[in-house]
Structure 1
Amino acid sequence: MLDVLTDTVFSFLPALICWSAFKKFGGTPIVGFVIGLMLVSPLLPNAYEVADASSNVEAVMAFGFIPITGYQGSVLTALVIGYLGSKLEIATRKVMPQALDMMFSPFVVIAVMLITALLILGPILHLVENGLVYVVEAFIHVPFGIGGLVIGFIYPLAVMTGMHHLFITIETALLGSTGFNPLITICAMYGFANAAVCFAISTRAKKSHVKVIGTSAGVTQLLGVSEPGLFGITLRYGTRPLAAMLAGSAIGGAVLSMLGIQANSYGLAVILSPLMYIYDPYQLITYIAVGVLTFILTFIITY
């Protein structure tokens, strides 16, 4: 029952991503959902079984050289197909006679995008996605925690520019391919460090309104919303609080990388994030310890 609870979403992940992409880019969400379901149809060889050498399941070779498999756990393929499909639907409905629109427009979109996904873009994007996962995993596991140090330093800067949303795609690909998410483990140290900066400035402040804002932003950060603390406190008081936060995030990321800590989910921040590690006592205890130490170290440096 727990497997059903935790694994079902990832089994049909492309369908959810296609649905979301169609909704975002102006298409009909249910059409995107159907296309996404086709990407993981049981009529196709299961991607996980194809990747498992002991399963004896092989991809279907179209024209002798194009491998056709399901796209279980694939994010990039579903996202691109969802975007292109929504644009194709909009264009098709503009030229389709109104009397035929309801019947033929969805059929044209579904048929064209399925062929495009299985025979053209899917195999190419699947290779790109696997390569991206491989590179990120390899970088995270660079010896001496160097990869974790760099990612822990870069992630807060990505949040400042709004680029951190790109990390979600990589995290989802990691979860779909490996079942684990070491990236969010490293990035999560930003939350501990940013909260520590807010509380340290609040403690040192002499003006009552700064104390209130600092405490409020720190509590908000502990609950997973970082922008009030980042823009209202950390960046507001010069480069030293920012430097302290970047240092805490980078050091915490490096330590977690060296210790091999990795989540088995994503989306939970700071005080709720330990829930992503309850699958293993070592993972849970180590993550909490490093997170608390990152908070303490950053608080002391900032103070």
Structure 2
Amino acid sequence: MVKQTVNLLSPAAGEVIALEKTSDPIFSKGVMGQGFGLIPTNGNVVAPVSGRISMIADTNHAIGITTDDGLEVLVHMGIDTVSLKGEPFNIKINNGDTITAGQAIATMNLDQVKAKNLDTTIMVLITNSNDKIDGLDITEGDSEAGQVVATAYLKVQEAANTSDKKLSHHDLATFIIKNVGGKDNVNNVIHCITRLRFYLKDESKANTEVLKNQRGILDVMKASGQYQVVIGNEVEAVFDEVVKQLGDLGDNPTPEPVDDGKNPISRGFGNLIGFITGSMSPVVGVIAASGIIKGLLALLTLPQLGSLLNVNSVPYITVSAIADSAFFFLPVIVGFSAAKRLNSDPIIAAVIGGVLTYPQIITWGKGLKTMFSLGGWHFQFLNYSYSIFPMILAAWLAAKSEKWLKKHLPSYLQMIFVPLITILVVSAITLVITGPVIQGLANGIAVLINWLVSASGWIGGLFIGGFYQLLVIFGLHWGVVPLVAQQIAGTGQSALNAIICSTMISQGAAVLAVAIKSKKADMKELGIAAAVSAFCGVTEPAIYGVNLRYKKVFASGCIGSAVGGLITGLMHGTMFGFTGGLIGFSSFFNPKNPTDLSSFYAFLIASAASIIVAFIVTWVWGYNDNMQKGQKVEKKKRPGTI
């Protein structure tokens, strides 16, 4: 196993000497730890390592730095200079500051030190050497400030000692930062529903195997410039701790897509899919929540429950507005999200989305009012509320427009004219050309998919139910999300999503069987948490944490979902909302016809069948505690750059 190393820089210009050659016996005998000395030729002192300032002596003659690797590095300016009470020293940093190697941290007046007949040698010591390093290589001789003059070899930490220990969110964040290469290796970090997504400066510095084997981390993947650490349900809490510990990363932009060696067409298609799904990913939770509210409203209007709410009542209309707002203003939300993904101005994109959802534009769109005619062509307004794809293209056009204008306009004109020109031009292009074309194609595709799934009946249900979760393994399931959203936006329902719902439930039932059957405490804890997540529509913790590592468990879940999909297809079940899993039951109520419970009955029967089949197959065939746990599955690169 290759040992990790940390480079130490010369703290100033001068001559590097071995520790035993220094004049102070405490330092020279290594009592304070391994290190080296520097006889300075000037008094400009820089940090020998990156890290956090952990100590500044009252007399300013010594500074302590703690690195991300846990090294405690002491920069001691001069020998016995504590007696000077800080007079020759000017400190340029504050306690608690995060610094980078080579950054100026102090100045030292060499003449004042020499005037007191004191040694000016600057000591650089690793005070916790015994615990943290196996050795230190030093290059003696003349050196410039900031030049690498020593290499510390970190002790190898045995993963087995800590991998099964449950860490707090704070400790897990510390562990992750350390093993992605430290703070200095992180350019940016974001998160989605289950994953921390790091943009690293050098992925080779990350300890992938150590991360994979740590309890609390389900998997590690690399995809088009991202280093993804799969956490599961607790990702937000861990993300918050990671951000706290990383501190201010500045306005580092999301890196551009990397050249993965593919041909331009393949790479372009992958980046397109990545852009679309990346724009939709932050919106999914809002759409799901809105769908649940709409389903619950439909439930409360059922005559079988005594029509607890009247569709014309103020409470119903108010809550319905709350639920509908996310769908009605979807172009605004998607535009904002897409612009963030493109590192362009999200406010400009949101305003363009506002143009598409402006009440008068919507009224004209519903009536197909003619904007103008050109020869035999009649350009009409369309209704863009509930739409997705026209706004995604509009956000991309806006980003290109902003970039071009900022390059060609003087800086004093940019604040006003970049948004002015971008909003006018892109809005006009979207309303006249790209919007009608894309909206027509998107609605046509959504209708076609719904028809194919409905027409195929049990065949489509069996096939999709049995194999859909394979898409999750390869990260391709995100490509289905915009299609389902477009189906619901365009037609008000999605038969495809109804089948997908069974696949989530069955994987949850499979991992629940493992949790109940297993006598291992950590397996019970992980299995129950993963089952809850899957029943709530997020299967990644179940799949990566347990099911794929015991492949029969995953297969058992697929058998259960194939049965559920077959039943859904036979009963022609469909969903009127976005949320899947058991928590999405309300999405099977038809808000336009609350008395029609056919899809809800299909959901109940298919869900029961999925749970029973997946649970029994897992219990009897799929899992026992004597099985050898497999390695975590290495996913293929997810298409695009999200």
Pick the TM interval, shorter chain: 0.7 to 0.9
The reply on whether 1:290 has 2:601 as its aligned counterpart is no
264 and 196 in structure 1: CA distance in 2 versus 1, 3 angstrom threshold: same
How far did 1:105 drift? 0.3
The reply on whether 1:85 has 2:401 as its aligned counterpart is no
Residue 132 of structure 1 corresponds to: 445
User: Is the Cα–Cα contact under 8 Å of residues 45 and 60 in structure 1 kept in the other structure?
Assistant: no
How far did 1:297 drift? 0.9
208 and 10 in structure 1: CA distance in 2 versus 1, 3 angstrom threshold: closer
The whole-number CA distance in structure 1 between the counterparts of 2:463 and 2:407 is 48
The whole-number CA distance in structure 1 between the counterparts of 2:618 and 2:364 is 48
The reply on whether 1:65 has 2:382 as its aligned counterpart is no
Q: Which has the higher contact order (CA 8 A, sep 6+)?
A: 1
The reply on whether 1:74 has 2:387 as its aligned counterpart is yes
The whole-number CA distance in structure 2 between the counterparts of 1:29 and 1:148 is 40
Helix, strand or coil: the match of 2:480? Answer: helix
The whole-number CA distance in structure 1 between the counterparts of 2:562 and 2:364 is 35
Q: Which moved more, 1:34-43 or 1:71-80?
A: 34-43
Deviation string 1:68-111 (CA, Å, 9 cap, x unpaired) is 32323221111111122123213322332111111100011112
Residue 12 of structure 1 corresponds to: 329
The reply on whether 1:275 has 2:592 as its aligned counterpart is no
The whole-number CA distance in structure 1 between the counterparts of 2:365 and 2:585 is 28
59 and 181 in structure 1: CA distance in 2 versus 1, 3 angstrom threshold: farther
The whole-number CA distance in structure 1 between the counterparts of 2:371 and 2:463 is 41
Q: Aligned match of 2:554 in 238, 242, 259? A: 242
How far did 1:116 drift? 2.0
Aligned positions, number: 295
Q: 5+ residue gaps in structure 1?
A: 51-56
Residue 53 of structure 1 corresponds to: none
Deviation string 1:169-207 (CA, Å, 9 cap, x unpaired) is 112211221112323221111111111111222344354
Between the aligned residues of both structures, percent identity stands at 26
Helix, strand or coil: the match of 2:457? Answer: helix
TM-score by length of 1: 0.87
How far did 1:286 drift? 3.2
Residue 32 of structure 2 corresponds to: none
Residue 15 of structure 2 corresponds to: none
Q: Which moved more, 1:209-218 or 1:288-297?
A: 209-218
Residue 201 of structure 1 corresponds to: 514
4 and 218 in structure 1: CA distance in 2 versus 1, 3 angstrom threshold: closer
Structure with the higher strand share, 1 or 2: 2
102 and 147 in structure 1: CA distance in 2 versus 1, 3 angstrom threshold: same
How far did 1:45 drift? 6.0
The whole-number CA distance in structure 2 between the counterparts of 1:289 and 1:273 is 15
Residue 54 of structure 1 corresponds to: none
Helix, strand or coil: the match of 1:44? Answer: helix
The whole-number CA distance in structure 2 between the counterparts of 1:198 and 1:104 is 56
The whole-number CA distance in structure 2 between the counterparts of 1:49 and 1:147 is 34
Deviation string 1:152-185 (CA, Å, 9 cap, x unpaired) is 2342111112221222211221122111232322
How far did 1:59 drift? 4.5
Deviation string 1:245-298 (CA, Å, 9 cap, x unpaired) is 2222222122112212222221x3423111212444443343123212211111
The whole-number CA distance in structure 2 between the counterparts of 1:190 and 1:145 is 15
How far did 1:47 drift? 7.8
The whole-number CA distance in structure 2 between the counterparts of 1:302 and 1:186 is 21
Structure with the higher helix share, 1 or 2: 1
Q: Which amino acid aligns with 1:128?
A: L
The whole-number CA distance in structure 1 between the counterparts of 2:581 and 2:564 is 13
